[in-house]
Amino acid sequence: MSKVKAVFLDAYTLDPGDNDLSLLSDLLDLEIYPRTLVNEIIERARSCEVVITNKCKLNRVILHALPNLKFIQVAATGYNNIDIAYASENNIKVCNVAGYSTASVTQHVFAMILNYLNQTALYTNESKEGIWSYRPDFSYWHSPIEELKGKTLGLIGFGKIGQSVARVAHAFGMKVMVLKYMDLNSEDYFTVVDFDSLLQNSDIISLHAPLNASTKNIIDRNSLHKMKKQCILVNTGRGGLIDEEDLFHALRDGEIGVALLDVLNTEPPNPEHILLKLDNCFITPHQAWASLQARRQLVRLMSDNIESYLRSDANLKMVY
């Protein structure tokens, strides 16, 4: 039996050469492109029943131009790049993948925090440059090294990643506060609090909420003003959770201590982006999700979804 025709529009970040996509190509007659420009999407996907996309946006106009399309597999958790209303109206199934990067993001959160607190990269470079060799003492530091133990971590967003971060923080001896939502109740390793309490009492605030109308710019001038002066703000969620101009002013004016960001509103950013110029803002290129193990798990889960679709499995979990 012939395979279903499919296209992967933007496979590079999932597989820059170190991942195996054969699980997907074994199931599908799959054309793989590392990247696809907006004006190339329709041509590449026109004859396909299945489209796999990570960041390529499939809006109403594009979807209308794909008469054979029946299934969209998003190679990520977020699916805001798909016109879900149009897909639902036209019986186009859409699946995302959740939970594949929990360990990877958790590790990145603490990698950023620990590198900032311990300045390991700075001192490694100084040792290699000979600075340690000419110090009068066997040990030195430029500023006090702070421990995580006893500090308070505030979490905005408490899905699988937020819960994982909370457990690691608890293991470090931190106090964990979680922003209250729905019927969430306090547990042994975290306390549920309101927004103002979290902002005012956290030494570190880490963002793990989805980006939607209620969370867009949840960190703005007002919320930044309520944080501790030395607060560490971490964002590995979505850039839109933070008003970047308000954050710039808060960091520049010393209203909070530092921002550790893995995501921005526009990616890649303009080289003149205001946050790139600040000494107390550390930015990594949206890579918290991208451990090799997480990317391999993403492929496995995508192939499970596609296999369920091909079997017409009634239990296929869709996003609408």
The DSSP-derived string for 175-189 is: EEEEE--TT---BTT
CATH class belonging to 102-283 = alpha beta
User: What is the per-residue pLDDT for 181?
Assistant: 77
User: What is the per-residue pLDDT for 182?
Assistant: 65
Q: What is the dihedral of CA 287, 263, 233, 296, to 10 degrees?
A: -30
How many residues in the chain? 320
Residues 156-209 have pLDDT tens digits of 999 999 999 999 999 999 999 999 876 777 788 899 999 999 999 999 999 999
51, 45 in Cβ contact below 8 A? yes
Q: What CATH topology corresponds to 4-100+292-310?
A: Rossmann fold (3.40.50)
Tell me, yes or no, if 238 is annotated catalytic. yes
* H-helix segments, the chain: 22-25, 41-45, 60-64, 84-89, 102-118, 120-128, 160-171, 195-201, 221-226, 244-252, 292-310
Q: Output the pTM of the full model.
A: 0.93
Count of CA atoms in the C-beta half-sphere (13 A) of 13 = 19
Question: Is the predicted pLDDT of residue 259 greater than 70, yes or no?
Answer: yes
pLDDT band at residue 260, thresholds of 50, 70 and 90?
very high
Q: What backbone torsions phi and psi does residue 62 show, to the nearest 5 degrees?
A: -65, -45
User: What is the per-residue pLDDT for 112?
Assistant: 98
User: What is the per-residue pLDDT for 258?
Assistant: 98
Query: Vertex 147, ends 181 and 135: CA angle to 5°?
Result: 150
Q: Which two tokens mark 259? A: 């921002």
pLDDT band at residue 104, thresholds of 50, 70 and 90?
very high
47, 91 in Cβ contact below 8 A? no
Query: Vertex 218, ends 213 and 223: CA angle to 5°?
Result: 155
Mean pLDDT, rounded, of the chain? 96
Residue 219 DSSP one-character state:
B
Q: What is the mean pLDDT of residues 12-29?
A: 97
User: What is the per-residue pLDDT for 58?
Assistant: 98
- Quick one: which of 164, 97, 143, 162 has its CA closest to 299? 97
Q: What is the mean pLDDT of residues 116-136?
A: 96
Peptide bond into 268 cis (omega under 30): yes
299, 20 in Cβ contact below 8 A? yes
Catalytic choice (170, 286, 296, 307) = 286
Q: What is the mean pLDDT of residues 239-252?
A: 98
178 by Cβ neighbours in 10 Å (0-12 / 13-18 / 19+) ranks as buried
- Quick one: which of 85, 50, 74 has its CA closest to 320? 85
Q: What is the mean pLDDT of residues 108-115?
A: 98
Q: Which two tokens mark 235? A: 């964002």
Q: What is the mean pLDDT of residues 129-154?
A: 97
Catalytic choice (108, 238, 244, 255) = 238
User: What is the per-residue pLDDT for 292?
Assistant: 98
Residue 240 DSSP one-character state:
G
- Quick one: which of 48, 95, 103, 51 has its CA closest to 76? 95
Residues 36-92 have pLDDT tens digits of 999 999 999 999 999 999 999 999 999 999 999 999 999 999 898 999 999 999 999
- Quick one: which of 266, 250, 270 has its CA closest to 258? 250
Q: Residue type at 291? A: S
Query: Vertex 40, ends 36 and 269: CA angle to 5°?
Result: 45
Q: What is the mean pLDDT of residues 109-135?
A: 97
pLDDT band at residue 318, thresholds of 50, 70 and 90?
confident
Q: What backbone torsions phi and psi does residue 152 show, to the nearest 5 degrees?
A: -105, 125
The domain segmentation of the chain, as residue ranges, is 4-100+292-310, 102-283
With H, G, I as helix, E, B as strand and everything else as coil, classify residue 228: coil
Tell me, yes or no, if 286 is annotated catalytic. yes
